[in-house]
Chain A
Amino acid sequence: MAINVAMSNEQRAMSAGQEEGIEKVLGNSVLLTQLDAIVDWGRKYSFFLYPFVTACCGMEFMSVAGPRYDLDRFGAALPRFSPRQADLLMVVGTISHKQAPILVKVYNQMTEPKWVFSFGVCATSGGFYDNYATVQGIDTLIPVDVYVPGCPPRPEMVIDGLLKLQEKVAKEKWSDWPRGEALVSKKGR
């Protein structure tokens, strides 16, 4: 089902050896770990979604948000259409090369902390659109937290992916943030 991939491997590797700021002083003391636990608890139950819906998976997304499967149960119901207010970027559907800069821009505009949810096989790997027009997986553009393949994924898979993301958020540390802007936009400069 949903595959949980460590986010932004580059940053993890960077921060593994050297801990910065307050963690250098206090280390993994109770004070910091409990703060992390509380903040992560708040964050994992309060995702404001940014639905970046480009294709047919949108129908399945509506079904997940709708009465029968009800994402609101997990605290992830509120769609915010301004990226400034959103936490979770739901990339729902095929991303063409023409669409890619917009996706990267939206990702960069989101305020930290932010997570990315790859919804459907097209967003995950390009799917059967193995051609010149389609981005072969959005992780070539932006860091992705949860991949949910399927064409389209069943609502159960999406909920499973969301729960995996909650588990992952629960393990995060304060120093994991900020993530910064997408690597693609840095290379471009």
Chain B
Amino acid sequence: MLAELIETIAKIMFIFGVNMGFFTPILGWVERKQSAVMQDRVGANRADIFGFRVIGLLHILADAIKVLTKEDFVPAGANKFFHTLAPFISLTPALVTFAVIPFGGQYEIFGHKVNLVIADLDIGILFIFAFASLATYGTVLAGWSSNNNWSFLGGMRASAQMLSYEVAMGLSIIGVIMVYSSLKLTEIGAMQAEFFRWGIFLQPVGFILFLTCAIAENKRAPFDIPEAESEIVAGYFTEYSSMKFVMFWMGEFLEIVTISGIITTLFFGAWHIPFVSNEMLLSIFGFAGPDGANILTMLINIATFFVKIIFFIWLQMTIRWTLPRFRYDQIMKLGWKILLPLALINIFITGLVLLVK
């Protein structure tokens, strides 16, 4: 009992630490630096401590200090309670979703069975969708409670866009669920041990649909009409300053990580290395004894999972800095007239193949 408690707390600390302590701040730097490299610029590199610049990483610190010491503003006529609540609502779901994403398999260490997922729910995917759709409330609330026309327009756009893409996103996953006949993310991950059983080979269309819908859910370019600068100032967070405004960004960054985690788990073999099974790893690490071999395998698997996540973060950043923004009607057309029928056809064909086989 105690061991389980310690294990759970350790896992929560690990995921929280990696997400809030590593990915969120680093992604701010990555976004800046990657955009700079893609635009043939140098990017932020001047902030220094005692002459050390650390390739611009200190700009994160400078931004944090600046943002924390900036005036916290609530507009006149705004609903102060909801205005303060909204950033928290949009930040939390992205963090909570990570509870059901497995970042490793199951290992036997010192007679204790370690399952590398915080909450091994039977309905993992449904949990993700339930919480991902909660983020909509954050944006709508932010738009409404700011008492500002632009914010309100942004909130309306965000709600319309997120609701539309939620449908296609949910349907794009159905194919994966049918193939693996499980809603449990640990099971789906375990079933992808063999390279050619990865979700990307079984559900290529599902992957592209899911990636598109997920980026649209995250409201980043090319789907960033809720905060389109050229049309509605800064959209739903126009009236937010200092840390509250940055919390929306942190939520966005966390969502990038979460999307990468889901994609990795569903389509890219979760914690498995292609052509290298865990049995092979265990035999390679045989010199360290059974427990040592298990621990080393576990560490390798966790590293593999996060390398895959980093790759998909890079992919999403590249998409964000490559494509121009869609028009509002184009977004709706893409969601309802292209992605939704494609997802339905995908389900139909998957069902047909499963039936014939």
Query: Which residues of A are in contact with B by a Cβ distance under 8 Å?
Result: 38-39, 41-46, 66-67, 70, 72-75, 77, 79-82, 84-85, 87, 111-113, 178
5 smallest beta-carbon distances between A and B, as pairs: A42-B65, A82-B234, A45-B62, A111-B71, A46-B66
Partner of B241 from A67, A73, A85 at Cβ < 8 Å: A85
Given that A75-B59, A84-B240, A84-B245 are known contacts, is A39 also in contact with B44, CB under 8 Å in the complex?
no
B46 at the interface (CB under 8 A from A): yes
By the criterion of a CB under 8 Å from any partner CB, how many residues of chain B are at the interface? 35
Chain B residues with Cβ below 8 Å from A42 are 61-66, 69
A73 touches B43 (CB 8 A): yes
Q: Which residue in A46, A67, A80 is a CB contact (below 8 Å) of B39? A: A67
When the two chains form their complex, are residues A81 and B43 in contact, meaning their CB atoms are under 8 A apart?
Answer: no
Min Cβ gap A97→B in Å is: 24
Q: Which residues of B contact A73 (CB under 8 A)?
A: 41-46
B40 interface residue per 8 A CB criterion: yes
Cβ–Cβ contact A45 & B59, under 8 A: yes
Q: How far is the CA of A39 from the CA of B70 in the complex (A)?
A: 10
The reply to whether B44 and A77 form a contact with Cβ atoms under 8 Å apart is yes
Please list 10 pairs of residues, one from A and one from B, whose beta carbons are closer than 8 Å in the complex, sorted by A's number. Answer: A39-B69, A45-B46, A67-B41, A73-B41, A73-B45, A81-B233, A84-B245, A85-B245, A87-B70, A113-B71
Residues of A within 8 A of B63 (CB): 42, 46, 75
B58, B59, B237: residue with the most chain A Cβ atoms closer than 10 Å: B59
Contacts known (A39-B65, A42-B63, A80-B234); A85 close to B42, Cβ less than 8 A: no
Measured between alpha carbons, how far is A81 from B62 in the docked complex, in Å? 21
Q: Which residues of A contact B240 (CB under 8 A)?
A: 84-85
What secondary structure prevails in chain B residues at the interface with A?
A: loop
The complex places the Cα of A94 from the Cα of B41 at a distance, in Å, of 29
Task: State in angstroms the CA–CA spacing of A77 and B47 once bound together.
Answer: 13
Tell me the complex Cα distance, A178–B70, Å: 10
Query: Does B350 interact with chain A (Cβ within 8 Å)?
Result: no
- B73 and A87 contacting across the interface, CB-CB below 8 Å: no
| B47 contacts A75, C-beta separation under 8 Å | yes
Let me know if B71 and A85 touch, CB within 8 A: no
Which residues from A are CB-within-8-Å of B234? 80-82, 85
Q: Which residues of B contact A45 (CB under 8 A)?
A: 44, 46-47, 58-59, 62, 66
Could you say which residues of chain B place their CB within 8 Å of the CB of A79? 229
Q: Which of A43, A70, A82 contacts B69 (CB 8 A)?
A: A43
Question: Is A111 within 8 A of B70, CB to CB?
Answer: yes
User: For the complex, what is the distance from the CA of A72 to the CA of B62, rounded to whole Å?
Assistant: 13
Closest chain-B Cβ to A39's Cβ sits at a distance in Å of 5
Bound CA span A67–B229, Å:
21
In the bound assembly, the distance between CA atoms of A112 and B327 in angstroms comes to 34
